[in-house]
Structure 1
Amino acid sequence: MTPVTSGPSVGTMLLAHDDARPAGEAAPAVVLLHAGVADRRMWEHIAGHLAHTFRVVRPDLRGFGDTPLPPQEYADADDVAALLDHLGIAEAAVVGSSFGGRVALELAARHPARVRQLVLLNPGLRGVEPTQDAQAFDAAESALLEAGDIEGAVRLNIATWLGPDAALSTREALAAMLRHALEVQAEAEGALSEHGPRQVLVDVDLMRIVVPTLVVSGAHDLDHYRQVAARVAASAPGAEHTELAWAAHLPALERPDAVVSLLLDTLRDDPGVHAP
């Protein structure tokens, strides 16, 4: 039976993904959606711990990791719903980091029957006016990319999004993921017609996000994302908010063990979880 959705799906594709679960038993599903500077590999450490308890699905969204960016109209939320169909998963808890958090909200808005719970780590959200620090980052990154300085853009992103707790190996891994994404997306843009790819803009009415939702922000993140987190937490009836005093924008990479503990407690519905 196909679950009811809140909007029509556009052209979907099967996302590259990993699917892990406890041996020999059925388990509730958790979907991990990566940040826009990474791919599904950002969850490697976390997924291994969660998979002792949950069925853990990690996709690469379009233009990231092993998923291409074909010239067609699409919505990331529809791609995730199609992946759940392919895997026979009726509903899942969805954990999203940054861009992945935005996609998680769009999935909950467009396909509400598929989402039983949300955990949003410094989520993005369309329609929020960028703050001065976000505008400055966008301008600096655009200038580097227009000049063809991929390595400069990678260095800027690493310095902006990772806090001081991130290990050197983590910085190198993120640089490799981001470099690959920039190359894939640049190649796709060079091959596109004037009409594609076109990403469908999914409207998110936060007042209709009623599933249990934990919004996590980082005290050292850009003001823009801290404001988005506060807005989601204040507007979504099912939401609560916690701030991690040690975190910048990517806590799942900065202190993965701390995020494992947070997710296990949250997803297992432990009432004592939400202290940073």
Structure 2
Amino acid sequence: MDTMVTVSQGEVWADDSGGDGLPLVLLHPGVGDSAVWDPVLPALVARHRVIRYDVRGYGRSPAPTATYSTVRDLSEVLDHFAVERAVLVGSSMGGATSVDMALESPDAAGTGARRPPDRGAVRRGGLSRRGPGLAE
């Protein structure tokens, strides 16, 4: 179901595929709108509830008329669809929004970003050398 969602001092276009389970929220990059997810959307919708929206000034969302926060807008979109917890999947600008949301509301957001196992760790003084074949 696509709709306009009222957010603080504005509105954004959003789409919710419906369904049960922990939803995936797709956050687009700054070089496009939510249509960037169209090639993978059918496969995702077949297995998950998927929510996507256009950030203010992108795609079907009107241009901003006041200063706004992408994290606040995301939070208000989630509230509109009665989502308490979601997996956030973002690219570029959308990835930054997902990380900011996870830092501000860790109980509400699980991000799609993961560190590859045992490929290195940041330690005081720099990167450790824990990769295959490297001595520490």
Q: Specify the TM-score bucket, using the shorter chain as the normaliser.
A: 0.7 to 0.9
CA distance in 1, matches of 2:9, 2:122: 32
Q: Residue in 2 aligned with 1:15?
A: 12
SS in 1 for 2:84: coil
Matches within 5 A, 1:134-149: none
CA deviation vs aligned residue, 1:71-122 (integer Å, no higher than 9, x gap)? 212100100000000001111000000111011111112232320x212xxx
Match of 2:114 among 214, 239, 248: 214
Letter in 1 for 2:83: I
Do 1:35 and 1:99's aligned partners in 2 also have CA atoms closer than 8 Å? yes
Number of residue-to-residue matches in the alignment: 114
Q: Residue in 2 aligned with 1:49?
A: 43
How large is the RMSD of aligned CA atoms in angstroms? Answer: 2.5
Matches within 5 A, 1:123-202: none
Match of 2:60 among 60, 66, 79: 66
5+ residue gaps, structure 1 = 1-9, 120-212, 217-232, 236-276
Do 1:16 and 1:66's aligned partners in 2 also have CA atoms closer than 8 Å? yes
Matches within 5 A, 1:221-240: none
1:88 aligns with 2:82: yes
Cα distance change on mapping 1:13 and 1:114 into 2, 3 Å = farther
Cα distance change on mapping 1:234 and 1:64 into 2, 3 Å = farther
Per the normalisation by structure 2, the TM-score is: 0.73
CA distance in 1, matches of 2:122, 2:61: 34
CA distance in 2, matches of 1:12, 1:86: 15
Q: Residue in 1 aligned with 2:104?
A: 110
Cα distance change on mapping 1:14 and 1:55 into 2, 3 Å = farther
CA deviation vs aligned residue, 1:53-87 (integer Å, no higher than 9, x gap)? 21100110111101122221210010000000000
Letter in 1 for 2:114: L
CA distance in 2, matches of 1:234, 1:101: 21
User: Percentage identity across aligned positions?
Assistant: 32
Q: Residue in 2 aligned with 1:274?
A: none
Per the normalisation by structure 1, the TM-score is: 0.38
Q: Residue in 2 aligned with 1:164?
A: none
